[in-house]
Structure 1
Amino acid sequence: MLSRAAANLYWMARYMERAEATARLITMGQRMAILPGAHHRDEWRSVVKVTGCEDHFPPEAIVKESDIVAYLLLDLDNPSSVRSCLSRARANGKSIRTALTQDMWEALNEGWRKLDSYDVADARQQLPALIDWIKTRAMTFRGAADAGQLRNEGHDFLRIGGSIERAQMTLRLLDVKYYVLLPETEVVGGTRDHYQWTSVLHALSGSRAYHHVYGGAYTPWQITDFLMLNTLFPRSVAYCYRQIAYRLARLAESHNGLKPCHETIAQMVGSLDGINSGEIFRIGLHKSVVVGLGMTNRLAAEIAEAYHFD
């Protein structure tokens, strides 16, 4: 496969994953913003921090829902906005049209300019419906790939891109809960703290899966273990790393053996396999997340170098 085609598949998956994740973050922000005192705690800034767009908002400014809708949903100049991600994913897909199934292309192409017709006021008024539409587009795309795409190199690059983006989002969500939303001492373990942690699960569609594993007990260390270490939950960091390792191993068979990225992902999988329940909190959640993000960024750079992405 040409490196240009591989890069387009990889980034197409990343952009679709990012669009859906950003939509889910906006929903999480809405849930947290309705808590008492949310205005004074500037809860919406946590959503901005997860997406890496915090520099766009002055530190002294209170971030409002209208700001989030304008910048993270509609702003075409923001590479992390939903509108921008959907547009870029379609551009990637158009460049490699013959590598996609008809259903994959339709999922990318159908209604891709829908957000062009919305201003901030209209988008806020119809926000739940828009969020559902965005999630449906992303899930339809993934379903089309699962159902019809050949399990060849192209599919491997597609899955690697989606898994890298997903792992990064899960790590950032955990860091924001710990570092930005860390509650005052008197409310640790209280109703607000509980609601914030369960909002993280909700943002990752993990509430029901978590309940199957832990029952009705919602504790910060169990939620952290679930989102970092559980190998059966598709949005956990461990699951994403294992998916990347599997796909890279397949690529190694047809691309002259192992590259530095293969050694890196093996190290990443092994580091999580060696962590016991509750140990992440004892080590330090923020420290663990920073290491995880650093390793994931390093892996992405090594993959791009190994397979000659432009």
Structure 2
Amino acid sequence: MLSRTASSLYWIGRYVERAEFTSRLIEATLRLDALSARPAGQAAWESALLVTAADAGFAATGLPNEPQAVSGYLTLSPENPSSIRSCLDAARSNAKSVRTALTRDAWETINRAWLGLRGLATTGGYEETLRLIDMIRAETRGFEGALHRMLRNEAYAFIGLGAAIERADNTARLIDVKYHLLLPEGEKVGGVIDRDQWTTILHTVSANTAYRWLYRNGLKPWQVTEMLVLRPEMPRSLAGATDEIVSHLAFIGRRLGRQGEADRMARRRQATLSRTAIDSIFGQGLHEYLEGFVVENAQLDRAIAQQFRFG
């Protein structure tokens, strides 16, 4: 496989995963804002910008921190490189360059999602935004379904590898923003707003039911954190994403005969996570732990690019 082909497949996985995550984040934030007192709603939109690292770019626009302005920036803004429109533009561009490596279903889901945003200047009001987000989520879920029906070859593995790297980064940022920054000043930990926001996190990663299956004693922040960091059976957890990264790298290594620093880094992280307890994470500081994880994930991304000579 050519390096530029591998790179395009990897970034298709990253961009589609990012588009889906952002759509889930917008939906969850809309619902929290509709149900919460004003301070919680405003903090939720601020957190959505922070999670997607779009806070500085949004501030530069001079727009007010209001639901329609923030959701529009996260969904449609071509100036925001992490907006859903930007992600789908990039995913479609990469997909066009490797069209023969994708199934018809995989290509059509990306193309339909892109067409669904073409020509839109605004997300509209609450209901219109939710309908738009539902459309995007349906297409990104369709892409995931098409991916699972693909031949298990290098193309499949590079797309899955990119998606897993992106998923790990998104989940780490989501937990960090909630725990470190989100609760409004004067609100107590464990209060109504705090519980609403932890519930929003579970909704964003589609884990409400999974949490109830794993934990029987109600919503506890440390248990949400444990599930999303250390439980490998949770696909969007840091441990689950890391297991997937190790698996895809091992498969690619067997098929292409190319292993290196990326494999070693991923296996080290997998071994470390398997030995880690939630108490030790809180003991060293959750923010510091997650910040370190995000940095390490970026290093792993660079190691993958170097190992497979992405252009």
CA contact (8 A) 1:222 1:278 kept: no
Q: In 2, Cα distance between the equivalents of 1:289 and 1:106?
A: 36
Matched residue of 2:235: which SS? coil
Shift of 1:43: 2.8
Structure 2 residue aligned with 1:75: 77
CA contact (8 A) 1:42 1:63 kept: no
Q: In 2, Cα distance between the equivalents of 1:253 and 1:176?
A: 38
Shift of 1:13: 1.0
Matched residue of 2:114: which SS? coil
Q: In 1, Cα distance between the equivalents of 2:113 and 2:222?
A: 41
2:282 corresponds to 1:281: yes
- Are the structure 2 counterparts of residues 197 and 158 from structure 1 closer, same or farther at C-alpha, using a change threshold of 3 Å? same
Shift of 1:110: 2.1
Q: In 1, Cα distance between the equivalents of 2:63 and 2:130?
A: 26
The one-letter amino acid of 1:15's match is: Y
Shift of 1:89: 0.8
CA contact (8 A) 1:42 1:62 kept: no
Structure 1 residue aligned with 2:298: 297
CA contact (8 A) 1:4 1:309 kept: yes
- Are the structure 2 counterparts of residues 186 and 121 from structure 1 closer, same or farther at C-alpha, using a change threshold of 3 Å? closer
Structure 2 residue aligned with 1:236: 237
Structure 2 residue aligned with 1:221: 222
Structure 1 residue aligned with 2:134: 132
**Percent identity over paired residues:** 38
- Are the structure 2 counterparts of residues 271 and 62 from structure 1 closer, same or farther at C-alpha, using a change threshold of 3 Å? farther
Matched residue of 2:259: which SS? coil
1:120-269 correspondence runs (5 A): 120=122, 122=124, 124-147=126-149, 149-184=150-185, 187-269=188-270
1:86-125 correspondence runs (5 A): 86-120=88-122, 122=124, 124-125=126-127
CA contact (8 A) 2:113 2:135 kept: no
CA contact (8 A) 1:229 1:273 kept: yes
Shift of 1:216: 4.6
The one-letter amino acid of 2:23's match is: A
Q: In 2, Cα distance between the equivalents of 1:122 and 1:211?
A: 34
Shift of 1:17: 0.6
The C-alpha deviation readout for 1:248-273, integer Å capped at 9, x for no partner, is 11122234453111111111111211
- Are the structure 2 counterparts of residues 190 and 113 from structure 1 closer, same or farther at C-alpha, using a change threshold of 3 Å? same
Shift of 1:141: 0.5
CA contact (8 A) 2:19 2:87 kept: yes
CA contact (8 A) 1:8 1:95 kept: yes
Structure 2 residue aligned with 1:29: 29
Moved more, 9-18 or 277-286: 277-286
Shift of 1:297: 0.3
Q: In 1, Cα distance between the equivalents of 2:162 and 2:9?
A: 8
Matched residue of 2:124: which SS? helix
Moved more, 107-116 or 43-52: 107-116
The C-alpha deviation readout for 1:119-177, integer Å capped at 9, x for no partner, is 32636551111111111111100101101x11111111010000011111100000110
Q: In 2, Cα distance between the equivalents of 1:7 and 1:108?
A: 17
Moved more, 300-309 or 248-257: 248-257
Q: In 1, Cα distance between the equivalents of 2:168 and 2:121?
A: 31
The one-letter amino acid of 2:18's match is: R
Q: In 1, Cα distance between the equivalents of 2:186 and 2:128?
A: 37
Matched residue of 2:295: which SS? helix
* CA-based RMSD: 1.9
The one-letter amino acid of 2:159's match is: L
The one-letter amino acid of 2:6's match is: A
The one-letter amino acid of 2:80's match is: N
CA contact (8 A) 1:69 1:120 kept: no
- Are the structure 2 counterparts of residues 121 and 105 from structure 1 closer, same or farther at C-alpha, using a change threshold of 3 Å? closer
Shift of 1:29: 1.8
Shift of 1:282: 2.5
CA contact (8 A) 1:97 1:105 kept: yes
- Are the structure 2 counterparts of residues 265 and 40 from structure 1 closer, same or farther at C-alpha, using a change threshold of 3 Å? closer
The one-letter amino acid of 1:110's match is: R
Q: In 2, Cα distance between the equivalents of 1:132 and 1:177?
A: 24
